[in-house]
Every structure is written in C-alpha cells, then in structure tokens.
Structure 1
Amino acid sequence: MKDKIYSFSIVFVCLLIFSLLAHNSYGQQTNSEPLRYELFEHKLFVVHTNHSTIETDSMRYRLLFPKNYDSTKKYPLVLFLHGAGERGDSSLTVKHIGAWALQEKNRKNYECFVLVPQCEKKNKWVEVDWAADSHTQPKEMSKYMNLTVQLLEKLEKQFPIDTDRIYLTGLSMGGYGTWDLATRFPQKFAAIVPICGGADEKTADSLKAMPIWVFHGALDQTVKPQRSRRMVEAVKKTGNKDVHYTEYSKVKHGSWKPAYEDESMWKWLFDCVVGE
C-alpha cells in the first residue's frame, strides 16, 4: 500500500513540475517581444471642403514608417481599414494590424509604410447594413472613405511610396471597406485582403485583374461567411485566377487573428506588383 502511495506521489510531482515548466515556456514565448504601438505616429489630416470659405473636414490617422527609413528609397504601403469596435480617437485602431506590423521580424522582412485612417464613432467606411444577406454598392463613397482616398494621394506626394505596391486590407467593417474601395479604384492597389466583410457582387467585374485573398470564419454570426463566399465566386467568374479563399471551420467573427498570423499570406501579398 505504501509503495502504491509513494509511486502515485512521484507521478503527481513529475506531472506538476512538467506543467509548471510548460506554463513558463509558454509565457516566455508570448511575452518575449512587447509591441511598441507608439511607433505609429498619430496625425490629423485636414482638407478644405469649400475653397471660398474656411470650412474644413478632418480625419485622424496613424502612420508607421519603415524600419531604417531612407528617404531616397521607395517603400510599399499597407492601407489598413479597422473594424467598428475601433472607431473614434483610440489607440485600438492599430491593435490588430499592429500585432503583425510591429513584430521585429516583420519590420525587417517587410519594410513598408502602414497607414491606418480613423473612422469616427457612428460612421462607417461603407454605408450599408452589415447584417444583411446582400447590399447594393452606394453611388458615393462615405465621408471617411473619401478622406482616406485624399489622404493617400497626399502621402504619395509627400513620402517615397512605391505606388505599384500599395496593399489594401481591412476587417469586419473594414472588410466591407476593402471591397468597396478596391472596386472603385482597381488600378490603385497591387492586391487586397478583405477579412470577414461583404460586397456587392455586381461590382466583381472591376476586380477581374486584382490579386485577392479573402478570409472568414465559418461560425461568424456578425457577418455571415456567405458574404465572402458569394463575392469570391463572383470574382472567379470574371476569369480572375489569383483569388484565394480561406475559411476557418472553428472560428467565429475574429478571423483576422489567424489571417494576419498566416505568413504565407504576407509573402504572397508583398510579391504582388501592379501590372505583373
């Protein structure tokens, strides 16, 4: 009896030690690299809405410069459209894209500008119902989408941006924005990555030459995966051969996390060049 108790105690202690070591190892891996969100510079973009008056519109945005920035070199730019939960003047705007962009290995491997425009509270990148099974693209861009286009044009003149390598991505509300902006300006972007968004399938023809990688969670109840599935099929019917779709079988609305952790997606994205 004593031998059995002794043997059980030894096994228990070994399991406890193993558990503690595994926990510490995991903690070291996840906390080894604190992300420096302050590297995203907080700025304000102001435009005159009427040149005969002093009326203006403005939009906050954040801009990350390439690591080892050299003004004599040209760099790609990643334009990120955030989701509804990050609206307003908040550092949360860069939370999801920052988890990728601020990792040291990515700063080295993908030297680029990262632009994050800020949509204010109660506004949308695209004025549509996210819960609807379908929608018709609005004739006009929303206020903050319009400002984003103007901001991008300004930055292209101000900084050494490689205009053949501008990449567009966004999640949820920003996924809708990604589709919408790309269909309006298909020549502007080298490739797009819409995540858990939706689009008007009637606009698919404008994307027949656009490299696209779409992500969605199969269990998403906020934006149904059918929205992505149908748009992907619509684009494929145009003859586009560079359309990829990844659907995570056990993921709900947060499909951006595994999507932005997918190294193969980033490698594919940065290999895309306008016209090639």
Structure 2
Amino acid sequence: MRRFPIYLILILALPQCQTKSQKQDSTLTIAAQLTTAQNQAWVNEHLDQVMQASVFVAKNGHQMPYRIFIPDDYRPDESLPLLIHLHGRGERGTDNNPKIYNNIPLFNGPRSIVSPNMQQRYRSIVLVPQCSDTTINEEWAKWVGNTPETPFEGLGEDGSYLMNDTPSSSGAAALELIDYTIDRYHIDKSRVYLTGLSMGGFGTWEFIGRRPELFAAAVPMAGYSDPRTVDRIQSIPIWVFHSNIDQYNPVAGSRHMYQLLTEAGAEVLYTEYDSTTHGDTFQRAWQNEELIPWIYSQQQ
C-alpha cells in the first residue's frame, strides 16, 4: 500500500474546467490520512463544493445537468478511472440539486468516494448526471409501453421489462455525456464503473445492455431489468443488491438476472437483504466495506 507523509499539503486551486463552481476556493487535497472524524468533517464542509455543477448539451438537444468530481491536483496527462452514479426517480429534475448524490454513503459518509482518505486509495473522477422530469415517463431506462400516457405500462410483476429499441432522452444524453467525459479527461477506458439505485438500478442494467463494451463493472441496486440482455452483459462483473421485501421494485427481477448470469458463467455477486425497505437497501449496500474495493479492482 502506498505510504503518505504525516504532514498535510493544502492546495487552494481547482483544475481548469467549465463548471459553475470553477471560481470557488476550497481546501481539497490532503496528503495525510485523516481520522474518521476529520474525514467526515471534510465531507460535511466540502462535498457540495467539490461536486462541481455543469450542464451538457447532447446531440438530441437534451440539456443534462450533472455534477462531476475531479481531483484538484488532476494532471491532464494522467489516466484515471471513472465512476458514474445514477440517482433514483425522486431526484429527477433540471435543478442539479445535491440530492442527486448526497443521500447515500457513497458520497456523504466516512467512506465518501470523493473524500481525502478514499481518494488516496481510489483516485478517480466521479460523474453524476441528472435525469429530466419534463415528462412523467422520463427515466434512465426506456421500455416497451413507457409513454407519457402510460408511464409504467410494461413493467412486469416479476421485476422485468422489455427494453425499447431507442433509449430515453435522458438515457441517450447520459451515455453521450459518459463518452464526452472519457475523452475530455483521458479516462482509463479499462476502468469505467457504473452504479445506480432504484430508477438508477433500471438505468444501470439498461446502460450496460446498450453499451456493454463501455463498462468494467456495474452495481445495480433494486431495479427492474431486461433478461434478454444477459448474452450481451455476461462479460461484465456485476454486483446486484436488493431487499426481499422491496415495496416498489420486485426482488424477483434481480433474483432472475442473478440466476441467468450465473448459468451463463458470468462474474456476478448477489446480496439480498432480509426485511429491509427499498431505501434502506442503498444505505446498507454503500456501508458494505467490500463494495468500493471490489468496484475499483475490476478492469477490462
């Protein structure tokens, strides 16, 4: 493991990038290992500042708000991993509000991925796009039956759906934004990771189904899925999380995908929580100390 000096190095400048928080000052890079309390205090003070706000205009005309974390000492000649997080349905909108990332331990906890302690071990760029709510049926995923008049038609009681031939406006824009981020920041293309919860769990299954060559690992949490994509995604390491009493998205879908992927010889892990609510699934999953190391150990 890399060793760090006991002194602190404080850098007060952000990298050159086109974001709304470009001109803000912050104390971001800390070379020494902090105590848990110090690291959490840093997160409490700096999280919304380091998750820089911007807007991406896709080829389809969709204007997608997003947040991005870039290490403050990022060098244009280095190739870093990219972690993408897809939020749930309750966080849809156009406001780029911190709610799209700050309600789970992945960002707002002692092991926040953007905190000094975690960035020492898992130095990376982190991307969080925001799904639109301009129509009632806009989701990360797009399934047969999903229209403004029938937003939830086509979702089976078994936790499955049939993926539409064309993605949603937000889904297409997010995939284009991922490509843009990879090119702009010279991302290590062998280490692009995707995770999402609830509606973002739908999106995680869907994005790897539409672009399987893009991702080195995926972590879908409590989402629906299309079993027909198994042949396309079986080469991607996947860790699935769900609760056995999920009151919104049936656990049967995740169980079925895990069974199909296992039968196909895929590298798939499955964690099912007993008597845990839909929302508590995400909290428990991101408190799992093995999850982040597992994600960052994957490479194409």
**Band the TM-score falls in, shorter-chain normalisation:** 0.7 to 0.9
SS of 1:61's equivalent? strand
1: CA distance between counterparts of 2:83 and 2:179?
14
Aligned twin of 1:3: none
Aligned twin of 1:77: 82
Are 1:131 and 1:223, in contact at CA under 8 Å, matched by a contact in 2? no
Could you tell me how far 1:29 is from its partner in structure 2? Answer: 9.5
Identify unmatched segments of 5+ residues in structure 1.
1-27, 50-55
- Residue 261 (structure 2) pairs with residue 235 (structure 1): yes
- Residue 70 (structure 2) pairs with residue 45 (structure 1): no
How does 1:120-139 map onto structure 2 within 5 Å? 120-121=132-133, 122=136, 123-128=138-143, 129=152, 132-133=157-158, 134-139=160-165
Identify unmatched segments of 5+ residues in structure 2.
1-36, 144-151
2: CA distance between counterparts of 1:246 and 1:157?
34
Q: 1:209 to 1:104 in 2, by over 3 A?
A: same
How many residue pairs get matched?
A: 240
2: CA distance between counterparts of 1:192 and 1:171?
11
Which structure is higher in strand share? 1
Q: 1:67 to 1:137 in 2, by over 3 A?
A: same
2: CA distance between counterparts of 1:86 and 1:198?
18
Instruction: State the superposition RMSD in angstroms.
Output: 2.0
Aligned twin of 1:214: 240
Aligned twin of 2:101: 94
Aligned twin of 1:161: 187
Could you tell me how far 1:127 is from its partner in structure 2? Answer: 3.0
- Residue identity matched to 1:253: H
- Residue identity matched to 1:98: F
2: CA distance between counterparts of 1:165 and 1:34?
25
Could you tell me how far 1:61 is from its partner in structure 2? Answer: 0.7
Could you tell me how far 1:272 is from its partner in structure 2? Answer: 0.6
Instruction: Give the fraction of aligned pairs with identical amino acids, expressed as a percent.
Output: 32
- TM-score, normalized by length of structure 2? 0.75
Which structure is higher in helix share? 1
Could you tell me how far 1:104 is from its partner in structure 2? Answer: 3.1
Q: 1:30 to 1:101 in 2, by over 3 A?
A: closer
- Residue identity matched to 1:116: V
Are 1:42 and 1:63, in contact at CA under 8 Å, matched by a contact in 2? yes
- TM-score, normalized by length of structure 1? 0.81
Are 1:62 and 1:117, in contact at CA under 8 Å, matched by a contact in 2? yes
Could you tell me how far 1:156 is from its partner in structure 2? Answer: 1.7
- Residue identity matched to 1:124: E
Aligned twin of 2:12: none
Q: 1:184 to 1:47 in 2, by over 3 A?
A: closer
Aligned twin of 2:270: 245
Aligned twin of 2:285: 259
1: CA distance between counterparts of 2:216 and 2:170?
22
Are 1:218 and 1:251, in contact at CA under 8 Å, matched by a contact in 2? yes
